[in-house]
Structure 1
Amino acid sequence: MPTVNAMFRRPFAEQLAYFRQKQNVPSERWDDLWRDEHDKAFVVAGAAKADLLADLRAAVDDAIANGQSLGEFRRQFKGIVAKRGWTGWTGEGTKAGNAWRTRVIYKTNMDTSYMAGRWQQMTDPDVMRARPYWRYVHNTIEHPRLLHKSWDGLVLAAGHPWFHAHWPPNGWGCNCGVETMSRRQLERSGRSGPDSAPNDGTVEHVSDRTGEVAEVPKGVQPGWDYAPGKSAAETAVAARLNRLDTVEAGIARRNVNDLVDSDLFARFFAGEVQGEFPIAVVPPVEREMLGAESLIVLLSQSSLAAHIERHPEIGLADYRRVQALLDRGAVYRREGDDGRLIYLTVDGVTYRAALKRTKDGQRNYFLTLFRSKTDSPPPGAERLR
């Protein structure tokens, strides 16, 4: 893992794209936004004026895009503060306070954007197939956080839920990182498989702003228990796949088919990967018929786990047939139900699937799949195709 200073000197496309998709959000306090809300917003505590925030953002963008040093950022910060007449900010008035505040702004944005870019790179399906393990790397030499140090060298399956709350940085000034590993590298390290995820417990955090109580993993500072870039990457993937153009829909279909056929989906099916998984693409010409507002059908881990418990006869191979069901199945609509029922017989087995639109109308969740004893729809159902 490169040192933190080296990170800052080597910006990359995913890092810059993550930072530039943020919106400027005025704020009074550092905790006005919480956890992955920072994936969508650029904030500087106390910076409430649009022109001030825009100038500060430009300085950070310059640092990321051009590898500007902390010293150069401090020079720009001084000019911005004088130009915009910003006073009353925390750290103002002393050399030490100015040094501390500029370092916090600079390092927080550089670290989170770097690790957000790394998340996008490391969760690429091709990368996860070739390098299916992630190793935690502790980098702080002086005044190390003891739990962070204890995680050094920890190897878990790529995308393991533990990383969702322990993806660096795990607090102000955290220098930790994560690197990928191939199967051969894992074996060379003397392991026959990944480690067990540590269970260090949690601590209770009470917000002095809202009074809300949250459980935070020990070793992770409140508000840092998320993976920078994870929610932004999921949104970006959904946006890329959710094109209405026929050509792009074809590309989306190939991408989703590759994902469903991959080991990543097998791990999702086994419960090793949490969240939601793109499982099929609805052809654009059929979106209205199927009651779908987008192309992508998502399967949530919670729905999958509950459904497997109710229908243990359904396996991984069955779920990999979902695209065929949507393409070739008979589609029915029940009165008073926005969803669609789809029947299809494959190799002598009749499947019934249910496709239902989410309340926001933006995404679809593939909710149920099971083997049906009959291909007859419920009484009163209207056939659409």
Structure 2
Amino acid sequence: MSDFATVTRALDLPFDEAIAFLRDKLSVTSTGWTDIWQKANAKAFTVAGATTDALVEDFRREVMRALESGTTLAEFRQGFDEIVRKHGWEHVGKPGWRARVIYETNLSMAYSAGRYVQQTEPETLLAFPYWQYVHSGARHPRKQHLAWNGLVLRADDPFWDWAYPPNGWGCGCRVRPVSESGMRRQGRAATDVAPERIETTTVNKRTGEVLKGSEGVDPGFDYNPGKAWREQPAASVPGLES
């Protein structure tokens, strides 16, 4: 099984919360992937290097179609090629790779946000007050993500504010809700100790900007998409102007 398959295998059927997450976004042009940074991505739909409103909107429609209708990656790539030809877009990277990144990242973020909303419904939290980090089983795993596999914390632990997956490009990790009886079945008397958040810095080679992040998470992914979407108005999100 390819690493990409581990990301998409859980994306079976679309559900209302995931679709709403994508529909609620504002379409925003950009010159590079750091123009819309971290939490701002929960409120903005953007494709790095897509600098016209028409181009962004065409990509948005194609991603929405993938989410609502279950468009495959192969079908999305065909749509990507048509959009590129239509707009004469000169993009970075090979077409197949670039289409995959757009498809994979947008769908995984939408499903993550949707699951978070479902998992934080009051009746769900009452029945499942704990969350467990589940590694994707990728053939080439990130060591930190693999180390977190099986980690159980309370649903309101601050760890989930910065490490609720996906935690990077191509990350297929997820969060599984756990009940009190589920804890007992796992032989657990208490939750684990939450990993410490260690700040990292990355320099944007294009702009020279120093970007802050969290160890174990790819730059720009250290936030909770569902929480940012649910709790923060667009005007309050750094990097996104209303």
TM value normalised by structure 2: 0.89
> Which among 64, 73, 76 is matched to residue 76 of structure 2?
73
Determine the structure 2 residue equivalent to 1:358: none
Please state how far the C-alpha of 1:120 moved relative to its aligned partner: 0.7
SS of residue in 1 equivalent to 2:144: helix
The letter of the residue matching 2:82 is G
Determine the structure 2 residue equivalent to 1:40: 43
Please state how far the C-alpha of 1:9 moved relative to its aligned partner: 2.9
The letter of the residue matching 1:137 is V
The letter of the residue matching 1:27 is S
Determine the structure 2 residue equivalent to 1:230: 227
Determine the structure 2 residue equivalent to 1:9: 12
Counterparts of residues 188-267 of structure 1 (less than 5 Å): 188-199=185-196, 201-208=198-205, 209=207, 211-212=209-210, 214=212, 216-235=213-232
Point out which structure has higher relative CO (alpha carbons under 8 A, 6+ apart).
2
How many residues align? The count is 228
Distance in 2 (alpha carbons) for counterparts of 1:222 and 1:54: 26
Counterparts of residues 147-158 of structure 1 (less than 5 Å): 147-158=144-155
8 Å CA contact retained: 1:123, 1:159: no
> Which among 150, 156, 159 is matched to residue 159 of structure 1?
156
Distance in 1 (alpha carbons) for counterparts of 2:30 and 2:122: 37
Determine the structure 1 residue equivalent to 2:117: 120
Deviations 1:106-149 (A, max 9, x none): 00001001001111111111111110000000013211000100
- Which is further off, 76-85 or 30-39? 76-85
8 Å CA contact retained: 1:140, 1:174: no
Distance in 2 (alpha carbons) for counterparts of 1:23 and 1:67: 22
Structure 1: give runs of 5+ residues left out of the alignment. 92-96, 237-385
Is 1:52 aligned with 2:55? Answer: yes
Distance in 2 (alpha carbons) for counterparts of 1:50 and 1:217: 32
Is 1:101 aligned with 2:98? Answer: yes
SS of residue in 1 equivalent to 2:126: helix
The letter of the residue matching 2:140 is H
Counterparts of residues 249-288 of structure 1 (less than 5 Å): none
Deviations 1:178-211 (A, max 9, x none): 0100000011101011111023633223445363
Q: 1:19 to 1:213 in 2, by over 3 A?
A: closer
Please state how far the C-alpha of 1:48 moved relative to its aligned partner: 1.1
Structure 2: give runs of 5+ residues left out of the alignment. 234-242
Deviations 1:48-98 (A, max 9, x none): 111111111000000000111100000111111112222x2102xxxxx11
Please state how far the C-alpha of 1:175 moved relative to its aligned partner: 0.8
SS of residue in 2 equivalent to 1:9: coil
Larger Rg: 1
Determine the structure 2 residue equivalent to 1:19: 22
Deviations 1:316-340 (A, max 9, x none): xxxxxxxxxxxxxxxxxxxxxxxxx
Determine the structure 1 residue equivalent to 2:177: 180
Please state how far the C-alpha of 1:18 moved relative to its aligned partner: 0.4
Distance in 1 (alpha carbons) for counterparts of 2:147 and 2:203: 26
The letter of the residue matching 1:32 is D
SS of residue in 2 equivalent to 1:8: coil
Distance in 1 (alpha carbons) for counterparts of 2:96 and 2:199: 32
Distance in 2 (alpha carbons) for counterparts of 1:123 and 1:9: 21
8 Å CA contact retained: 1:7, 1:114: no
8 Å CA contact retained: 1:138, 1:175: yes
8 Å CA contact retained: 2:136, 2:174: yes
Please state how far the C-alpha of 1:213 moved relative to its aligned partner: 5.1
Q: 1:166 to 1:81 in 2, by over 3 A?
A: same
Determine the structure 2 residue equivalent to 1:142: 139
Distance in 2 (alpha carbons) for counterparts of 1:7 and 1:54: 27
